[in-house]
Amino acid sequence: MLKYFELEARFPRHVGEVLLAAVRYVAAQVKVDPALFRQYSWPGSTIEYHRAQIRAAPGFREPTRADEERLTAWLAAEICPIEMTEECLKSSLWSRCRVERIEPPGRVDRILGSARTRFEQQFCAQIMGRLTAEAITRLEELIKGSDAADVGGWRGFFAELKAGPGRLELETLLEEIAKLSRVREIGLPADLFAGYSERLVGAWRIRAAACYPSDLLASPPEVRVTLLAALCGSRTSEITDALVELLIRLVLKINTRAEKSRWRKRSTPSSNRCTARPVSCSGLPQAAVDHSLEGQARSSTPQSHSRFSPPHFVNRSPSLIRIARPAWCLGHQDPEPQAHSHNSRF
């Protein structure tokens, strides 16, 4: 217990808090069996006598009720505004007792609970003092209006305030602007939470966001108003940041669409673009027939048998007319294919 008190500045509450390795080390130093430590009687006058001897060696003393009250006030004023976890509060309490040469009180949990309650009362009272009567009224109406809207099947502003922005579009930007304007109409002072850490305000904001309107209505008025003020104050900066991000993303989206449209126009040649110009194909069938007759005239000479005008091309003049047949879709009649003097092989 002496080594434990030198390290922790307190006595172990039960045998399980003492490490077995430490017991074996000390037993080896004094040359005794480590199993004898289990036989030590924790309740009784013997352990009290040993504790008094250990306490007197480094100059410590037992705590009194006045010490507990002073430690509670110190925790509420100095530690609770910056530390929210129970382990951090306990560590701070033990360090304070070591500095003041006081054995840590046995009712540590009760001291921590009293310090938290006292700090919460002081914090809420100070926030209520910084708010105007009009701002308090509007914060109260925020909850009452939310309940009335929920009963009617509509989404209340309290739920809308806790929700984040929707899809990336212009309507979302306008909704966030309207939400920010309505929050600013409450009239919260700019220095409402001056002197308090962001972690503390963020903890109260999370606590308010996790509550239903009925939970807030069941809370004390000071706590309810402080929770709503922390939520509205935090959401003001959050909505402002969200508006900036939405605006930047919307501009990038518009620029991306403009670049895609400009790229499509540049990649499409002007010759390939579809135009609504009327095309006249009335001379196409007659030109095909004339070309066939010219080939027939050239076929009578030996020079016509060249690689550019083969003899069998003349026999395909009806086929040319059939190929050019779609040109009469504009109202022209099909001409009759001319007869040939020689027999066609097709």
Domain identity same for 152 and 244: yes
Domain boundary among 76, 100, 127: 127
Q: CA-to-CA distance for 134 and 140, rounded, in angstroms?
A: 10
**Number of Cβ atoms within 10 Å of the Cβ of 139:** 22
292 belongs to a structural domain: yes
pLDDT at site 154: 34
278 belongs to a structural domain: no
pLDDT at site 22: 80
304 belongs to a structural domain: no
pLDDT at site 231: 92
CB neighbour burial string for 257-286, b if at least 16 within 10 angstroms, e if fewer? eeeeeeeeeeeeeeeeeeeeeeeeeeeebe
274 belongs to a structural domain: no
Q: CA-to-CA distance for 93 and 112, rounded, in angstroms?
A: 9
260 belongs to a structural domain: yes
Residue ranges of the chain whose pLDDT lies below 70: 145-156, 268-346
pLDDT at site 294: 54
Domain identity same for 81 and 195: no
243 belongs to a structural domain: yes
Domain identity same for 6 and 96: no
Domain identity same for 149 and 255: yes
pLDDT at site 155: 43
Domain identity same for 256 and 212: yes
pLDDT at site 270: 54
91 belongs to a structural domain: yes
Q: For residues 229 and 139, is the Cβ–Cβ distance under 8 A? A: yes
Domain identity same for 190 and 217: yes
- Non-local (6+) Cβ contacts of 197 within 8 A are 81, 82
The two three-digit tokens of residue 37, written as one number? 């430590």
Supply the range of the domain harboring residue 103: 63-127
Read off the pLDDT of residues 122-155 as tens digits, 9 standing for 90 and up: 999 999 999 999 999 988 888 875 444 444 333 4
Domain boundary among 127, 159, 174: 127
pLDDT at site 303: 47
Rounded to 10 degrees, the C-alpha dihedral 220/223/226/227 comes to: -100
Domain identity same for 46 and 26: yes
195 belongs to a structural domain: yes
Question: Is this prediction's pTM over 0.75?
Answer: no
pLDDT at site 306: 44
